[in-house]
C-alpha cells in the first residue's frame, strides 16, 4: 500500500514526530516512515514526489479505507522492530497518524475539538500543538495548561502526546527543565500511565527535579510489578530494579497463600 504525495511536507512532519517520540536518529526515523508509507527508503519516497496524483490523507478517507491503511502502517511499523516502549504498533500508529493532515485530531477528518469546550480543554490542545512544532520552546510556559489537561482529558491520544513531551524532557531531546518534568510526571502517573510511573520512580530515587524519596520510589516500582496492565518489557525493568529479594518475597507469598 503506497501513499503518494505532492511534496515532502507530510512525510517530513511524520519523521519529526516519530523521531521526537522515540528518540531516534534522523536516518532511522526516515527509513521507518518511508516503509510505513510503502516505500523502500527515503530516497525512493523522494524520487516519486509529485509524479502521481496525491493519495487522500486520512481525513478524506472513509472508515474502511482508513482502517485498512492503519492496519498496514501498524504492520510495517512492527516489521521495523523499532522499540515502541511498551506500546503496541496499532496504538502507536493511532497516536502517530503519519498520513493525517492534522495528526492531533482523531476520527478520520473530524474538525471538532478533542473534548468539549472549556477554556482549559482548548488550552491543553493548543499547548500540545505548539510544543509539537517548537522543540526548543520552554515546556514550563505551558505547564498549567498541560497539567490541567492531563488531569481532565479523556482523549487517550492527547494524553500519550503529553507523555511523549515529558519523555523528551527526560531524554534530553528538549532543554532540561527537571522541576517541570517532575510535576508533569506526577500528573501523568496519577492517570496510571506505566512508563510515567516508572520515570517518576526514577526521579524520586535520584532527587531529580524535586525532593528525593526512595521509599515512594520503591512503592511505585512495586505497584508496577503487581499491576496486570504493566507491559512486559517495563515489568522486566521494574523487577530488575527491585532486585532478587523482591522476587523471592513474591514467590514466598504465593507459596504461603
Tell me the pLDDT band of 102, cut-offs 50, 70 and 90: confident
CB 178 within 8 A of CB 170: no
> Class assignment of domain 119-256?
mainly alpha
Query: CA-CA distance, 89 to 75, in Å (whole number)?
Result: 7
Summary mean pLDDT of the chain: 84
Residue intervals of the chain classified under CATH 1.25.40 are: 119-256
Q: Which of 107-111, 170-174, 188-192 has the lowest mean pLDDT?
A: 107-111
Please give the model's pTM, rounded to 2 decimal places.
Answer: 0.55
Residue 169 corresponds to which cell in the numbers above? Answer: 524532557
Query: CA-CA distance, 27 to 32, in Å (whole number)?
Result: 9
Query: CA-CA distance, 131 to 2, in Å (whole number)?
Result: 30
Residue 108 corresponds to which cell in the numbers above? Answer: 478520520
Give me Rg for the CA atoms of the chain: 20
Candidates 61, 13, 56, 55; CA nearest to 33 is 13
Tell me the pLDDT band of 224, cut-offs 50, 70 and 90: very high
Residue 162 corresponds to which cell in the numbers above? Answer: 503529553
Query: CA-CA distance, 195 to 198, in Å (whole number)?
Result: 5
The gap from C-alpha 213 to its chain's centroid, in whole angstroms, comes to 27
Residue 256 corresponds to which cell in the numbers above? Answer: 504461603
pLDDT of 246 over the 70 cut: no
Report H helices in 191-243.
194-206, 214-226, 232-242
Residues in Cβ contact with 114 at an 8 Å cutoff, skipping those fewer than 6 apart: 104, 105, 106, 121, 125, 153, 155, 157, 158
End-to-end C-alpha distance for the chain, whole angstroms: 53
pLDDT of 212 over the 90 cut: yes
Amino acid at each position: 500500500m503506497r501513499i503518494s504525495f505532492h511534496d515532502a511536507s507530510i512525510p517530513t512532519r511524520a519523521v519529526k514526530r516519530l523521531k521526537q517520540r522515540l528518540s531516534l536518529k534522523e536516518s532511522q526515523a526516515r527509513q521507518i516512515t518511508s516503509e510505513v508509507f510503502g516505500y523502500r527508503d527515503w530516497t525512493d519516497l523522494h524520487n516519486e514526489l509529485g509524479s502521481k496524483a496525491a493519495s487522500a490523507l486520512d481525513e478524506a478517507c472513509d472508515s474502511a479505507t482508513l482502517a485498512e491503511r492503519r492496519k498496514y502502517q501498524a504492520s510495517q511499523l512492527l516489521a521495523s522492530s523499532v522499540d515502541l516502549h511498551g506500546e503496541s504498533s496499532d496504538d502507536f500508529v493511532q497516536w502517530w497518524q503519519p498520513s493525517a493532515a492534522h495528526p492531533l485530531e482523531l476520527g478520520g477528518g473530524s474538525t471538532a475539538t478533542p473534548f468539549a469546550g472549556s477554556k482549559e480543554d482548548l488550552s491543553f490542545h493548543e499547548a500540545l500543538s505548539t510544543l509539537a512544532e517548537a522543540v526548543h520552546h520552554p515546556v514550563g510556559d505551558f505547564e498549567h495548561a498541560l497539567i490541567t489537561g492531563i488531569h481532565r482529558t479523556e482523549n487517550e491520544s492527547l494524553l500519550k502526546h503529553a507523555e511523549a513531551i515529558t519523555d523528551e524532557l527526560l531524554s534530553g531531546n528538549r532543554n532540561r527543565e527537571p522541576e517541570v518534568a517532575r510535576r508533569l510526571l506526577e500528573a501523568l502517573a496519577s492517570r496510571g500511565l506505566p512508563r510515567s510511573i516508572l520515570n517518576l520512580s526514577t526521579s524520586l530515587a535520584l532527587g531529580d527535579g524535586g525532593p528525593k524519596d526512595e521509599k515512594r520510589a520503591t512503592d511505585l516500582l512495586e505497584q508496577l510489578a503487581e499491576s496486570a496492565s504493566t507491559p512486559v518489557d517495563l515489568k522486566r525493568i521494574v523487577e530488575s530494579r527491585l532486585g532478587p529479594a523482591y522476587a523471592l518475597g513474591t514467590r514466598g507469598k504465593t507459596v504461603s497463600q
